[in-house]
């Protein structure tokens, strides 16, 4: 079982805002990073650190954290944002990495 | 530009040892704060972190697989090798390597994988 918990599926209407969450005790101490994965493709980093976007990631993607929960927010979701999203962080020992179970985002 | 590419067998038999190579360019694994990680994804399932090797040769393994995994680096060849012993059909997956950065924010050290290889699919079957 994963030490990071994500909702299996979330949907959002085109152009609306959606928040994808990741829960885990280690998130009280460590930042999460977020990855977007489309079918048949390798994951792509979308958010890391406190709230950083790699070059080329649209500014509609943002990250935040509170307590044991990290969140990825997409403000004004687009059809191309439909994908699986994974959070990643250190585990509760701090010595290893762990992924959440992933959230399938559907854009309606 | 950082690139990584995985290579290795596409089919292995149960109980055999899998050896995967990650060949990279655009960075040095001797640079502080840099690592290479391995991540796998069984068909239709979530990503699983497997192992990580740092610039200083520190190594970390997924606890549940630690006894089966070995990660090494050859800085001169720009390669990282992952071996997994005693392969089982449940190990069937796409295996990715990724460039890992370790950074500090006010004393909070965090990791992220900013560039991934496309992955190599490994099937375990007799």
Give me chain B's average pLDDT, please: 96
Residue B108 has pLDDT above 90, yes or no: no
Check pLDDT > 90 for residue B105: no
Q: Per-residue pLDDT tens for B63-100?
A: 999 999 999 999 999 999 999 999 999 999 999 999 99
Which residues in chain A touch residue B105, judged by CB atoms under 8 angstroms apart? 31, 49-50
In this prediction, residue B101 carries a pLDDT of 96
Q: What is the 3-state secondary structure (H, E, C) of A18-81?
A: EEEEEECHHHHCCCCEEEEECCCCCCEEEEECCCECCCCCCCCEEEEEECCEEEEEECCCCHHH
pLDDT at B107: 85
Question: Is A2 an interface residue toward B (CB < 8 Å)?
Answer: yes
Across the interface, of B52, B108, B118, the residue whose CB is closest to A31 is B108
The answer to whether B35 faces chain A, any CB pair under 8 Å, is no
Tell me if A33 and B37 make a contact (CB, 8 A cut-off).
no
State phi, psi for A5 to the nearest 5 degrees: -110, 130
d(CA B32, CA B35): 9
How big is chain B by its Cα radius of gyration, in Å?
14
Residue B64's SS3 state is helix
| Residue A1 pLDDT grade (very low, low, confident, very high; cuts 50, 70, 90) | very low
* Residues A59/A74, Cβ–Cβ less than 8 Å: no
Asked whether the predicted pLDDT for residue B59 surpasses 60, the reply is: yes
Distance from CA of B2 to the nearest CA of A (A): 13
At A56-106, the pLDDT tens digits run: 999 999 999 999 999 999 999 999 999 999 999 999 898 999 999 999 999
Closest-CA residue to B113 (of A2, A105, A31, A45): A45
Instruction: Specify the higher pLDDT residue, B104 or A22.
Output: A22
- pLDDT for A2 equals 58
pLDDT at B61 over 70: yes
B125: pLDDT strictly greater than 50: yes
Question: Which pLDDT score is estimated for B71?
Answer: 98
Residue B47 has pLDDT above 90, yes or no: yes
Cβ-Cβ contacts under 8 Å, B115 against chain A: 45
């Amino acid at each position: 079982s994963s030490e990071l918990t994500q909702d299996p599926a979330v949907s959002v209407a085109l152009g609306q805002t959606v928040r994808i969450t990741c829960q885990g005790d280690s998130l009280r101490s460590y930042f999460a990073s977020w990855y977007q994965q489309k079918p048949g493709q390798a994951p792509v980093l979308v958010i890391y650190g406190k709230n950083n976007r790699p070059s080329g990631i649209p500014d509609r993607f943002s990250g935040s954290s509170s307590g044991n929960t990290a969140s990825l927010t997409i403000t004004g979701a687009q059809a191309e944002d439909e994908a699986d999203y994974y959070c990643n962080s250190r585990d509760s020992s701090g010595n290893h990495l762990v992924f959440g179970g992933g959230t399938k985002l559907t854009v309606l | 530009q950082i690139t990584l590419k995985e290579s290795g067998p596409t089919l292995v038999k149960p109980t055999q040892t899998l050896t995967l190579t990650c060949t990279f360019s655009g960075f040095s694994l001797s640079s502080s704060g840099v690592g290479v990680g391995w991540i796998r994804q069984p068909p239709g399932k979530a990503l699983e972190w497997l192992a990580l090797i740092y610039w200083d040769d520190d190594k970390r393994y997924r606890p549940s697989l630690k006894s089966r995994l070995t990660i090494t680096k050859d800085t001169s060849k720009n390669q990282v090798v992952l071996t997994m012993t005693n392969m089982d059909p449940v190990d069937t997956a796409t295996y990715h390597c990724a460039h890992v950065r370790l950074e500090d924010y006010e004393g909070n050290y965090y990791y992220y994988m900013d560039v991934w290889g496309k992955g190599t699919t490994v099937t375990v079957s007799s």
